[in-house]
Amino acid sequence: MGAVAHDNEVLLLGLLRQQSQHGYQINDFIERNLSRMASLKKATAYALLERLREAGHISAVTVQEGNRPPRQVYTITPSGQERFATLLRHNLSTHAAAPAGGDIGLMFLDQLPRQEAVACLSERLESLQQQLREYEAVPTHGPAFGVDLAVQRMIVSLRAEAEWLASTVAALASSPD
C-alpha cells in the first residue's frame, strides 16, 4: 500500500502520546498486548520512529541508566499531536475501502471439485471459529473502550463471517455437483 492507511503511524504516535518511550519498550508492548490488532514488526517500528523523528513529529533523547545499553527515548511533539489527531480522525471516519481479503478465492470456488471445495471451506470455518473463541476469551474492562472496542468489533465481524460460511458450506455440501 502507498500512503493510504497510516495504521502504523497512528499506532506509534498514539502510544507515544500516552507516554514517552524507547523503541524496545514500544515494540515489546505491541508484541505482548496488541499482537492481535497490530502487525507492526520490530525493524519496521525502529525505522518508522526514525522517520517520524526526521519529520519532527517526535523528538528523541539518548538516555543511559547504569551500564545498560543506551536508549532512544521518544517524546511526541506538538506537530506530532496534530498529526495524530488528523490521522486518527481520518482513520475513524473512513472504512477500509476495498478488498477485505479472502474474497478472491471464493470467486473461483467452482473451479475446484465440489468435495474439495467443501473440505477447504470447512477447514476455513474451523480456524475461523478457533479465532473467534480466542477473541471471546480476551478479558474486558467494563464499558467498551480502547482496545476492548477493537476486540468487540473483531468478534462481531468474525461471528458474522462464521455464520455465513457455515450456511454456505451446508448449501454447497447438499447441492449437486
Binding site for DNA (CB under 7 A): 1-3, 7-8, 22-25, 28, 39-44, 46-51, 65-73
Which backbone phi and psi does 110 adopt, to 5 degrees?
Answer: -75, 0
22, 69 Cβ separation under 8 angstroms: no
Which three cell numbers, joined as nine digits, stand for 143? 464499558
Least distance to DNA, CB of residue 79, Å: 17
Least distance to DNA, CB of residue 34, Å: 13
Element (H, E) at 145: none
- CA–CA dist 133, 85 (Å, integer): 33
- CA–CA dist 113, 81 (Å, integer): 55
C-beta of 62 vs 130, nearer to a second copy: 130
Element (H, E) at 93: helix 78-93
C-beta of 105 vs 113, nearer to DNA: 105
Where do contacts with a second copy occur on this chain (CB under 8 A)?
5, 7, 10-11, 14, 17, 34, 36-39, 84-85, 88-89, 91-112, 116-117, 120-121, 123-124, 127-128, 131, 143-147, 149-150, 152-154, 156-157, 159-161, 163-164, 168, 171, 175
Element (H, E) at 158: helix 146-173
C-beta of 14 vs 56, nearer to a second copy: 14
C-beta of 123 vs 136, nearer to a second copy: 123
